[in-house]
Structure 1
Amino acid sequence: MEEQKANVRAVERALDILLCFTDSTDLGLSEIAGRLSLHKSTVHRLLATLENKGFLIRDAQTEKYRLGFRLWELSVNLAHSDDPATLWLPEMERLRDVVGETISLYVRDGNERIRIQAVQSNQAIRRVAPIGARMPLSVGASSKVLVAYAEPAVREEVLSDPLWPESIDRDAYLEQLEQIRRQGFATSVEERELGAAAVAAPIFNRNEKLVAALAVSGPSNRLTLERMMEIAEPIMESAYRMGKMLK
C-alpha cells in the first residue's frame, strides 16, 4: 500500500513538473524545485525520467529544460472532430473576419478560466491572445459569462473563494451577473488590462449546459462600448452555431 502511494505521488509530481511549463518556455532544476517546494534531488530524478521518455528536452549549454516532442505527438490526437477547440475554429475565423478583432475561446477550470483556442485579429494594433493562458474569474467579460451561466452551486463556490478580491462588491457583482443572463452577453473595459476591452457570449450544448465562453477582444479605443453593442448580436449568433455543432 505504501509503495502504491509512493508511485502515485511520483506521478503527481511528474505532472506538476510538466505544468510548470504552462507559463514558461524553459526552466532550470532550481527554478522547478523552488516552484514545487521539492528537494533538488527528487526533482532531478523526475526530470531525468521525463527527459528519457521524450516529454522534456535538456539544453546542454544552459542546463535548462523545455517541453519535448512527445507532447506534440500526443497533441495530434486532440485534433479531431470531437474536439471543440478544433471543431469551432472555422466559425471563430469567420467571426474574426466579421468583427475585425481577436477571437478567443475560454473554459472554466476551478476558479480560473483558461484560453483553449484563439484567432488573432488581422489589425496592425490588436490583442494578442496566447492559448493556454490562465486568468482569474473575478474580472473580464469571459469570466463573467462563465460565472453567470454556471450552475448555482458552482457560482457560489467561485464567489466564496478566499482569494476573491475584496475590492469587488459581491451584491453589485451578482446584480451584474443577472443583467448578463438577461441580455445574453457580457462586456468589460480595462477590468484586467489597461487599454483592453472585450465582449463575450456563452456557448451551450444541445442539453443547454454551459460549455465555454466566446469572446471578442481588442484595444479599448477601438472596441468601445458602442462598438461592443453593435457586434454583440453576431457574437451570440456564432456562439449559438458553435453549440449546435456539438453532439
Structure 2
Amino acid sequence: MLKKIDRSALFLKENTALFQCPLCHETVTNKEKALICPNKHRFDLSKKGTLYFLDRQIKTEYDNQMFAHRGAMIKSGMYQPLIEQLAIFCDNEQVLDVGCGEGSFLNALAEKTSLQPSVGFDISKEGVYLATNQPQPLFWCVADLTKLPFADQSFSTILNIFSPSNYQEFDRILKPGGKVIKVVPRSHYLKELRAAFYPDEPEKQQYSNVQVVEKFKQMYPKVERSQVTYVFDVPKAQRLSLLEMSPLEWGVDPERKAALQKAPIEQITIDLDVLIGKK
C-alpha cells in the first residue's frame, strides 16, 4: 500500500494540469513531489500528502476536535439523504469540494459514485490533515478561497456545502457547462441544538439565509432549487459529538453544556436548501 505522500505524488503527476500558481497565476510543472511555476514559487507535498498554497500561516477557530466530531456525525448517517441527492449530480464528475473540512462529504460521494480525479481544499490545515485519513483516492490541499490554486476550466462541478463562496473564482475554474452545487441551511436547521444551547436567546434560535440564496440566484438565474428536510434519530454513540460538531458550541455557557452532556439530544432536524447553478 502506498504511503500518503507517494499516493499524492502520483495524483499530481497525472493531474498537474488541474493546478496553477495562486501567487502569480502561472502554469505549474511537477517536479520531485512538488509544483513549481516559472517564477520559482514552489509548493512541496507534506508527509501527509497535502499541498499548502497559502503565502502565510493562518490559524482558524476550527480545530481537530470539532472536525473529528463533524466527521463522526456525517459517518453516522446524519446527512445521508443529502448525500444521496448530491450523488445524482456528482457521478462521473470532476469535483472540487470548497471548504472540505475533514473531507467526509467528498469521501462519501466518492464511495457512492464514479468521480473523476477530484480535490478538496480548506483554509484550515487541521481539517485538511484529517482529510488525508479518508480511504478514497482523493487529493487534499490548504488554500485560500480568494486565490484558488486551480487552472481555468479545470473542474466540472464545484461542491459548496456550508461554506463561503467566491463566484468569480468559481466561474474561472469551471469547465463550460459546469455547475456549482451550494448547500445552505434553512431556518429550522439544527433547531433542537440551538434551543438547547441558547434557551434564553431567541435571536440565536432563528436565522435566515435569504440573502445567500438571492446572491446565488443573481449569479445563476436558472438555478435549480430543492429542499431537504427530515428529522434524524441521533445514534447514542454520537450524541456527544452532536454537541461539539459546529461553531454553535463556541458561545455556550459551560454549565448548560455540561447539563446537555448528561442528557444529550436524541433527535435533530436537518433543513437545507440545495442550489444548483450552471455556468
User: TM-score, structure 1 length as denominator?
Assistant: 0.31
Bigger CA radius of gyration = 1
Higher relative contact order (CA 8 A, sep 6+): 2
User: TM-score, structure 2 length as denominator?
Assistant: 0.29
Structure (1/2) with the larger helix percentage: 1
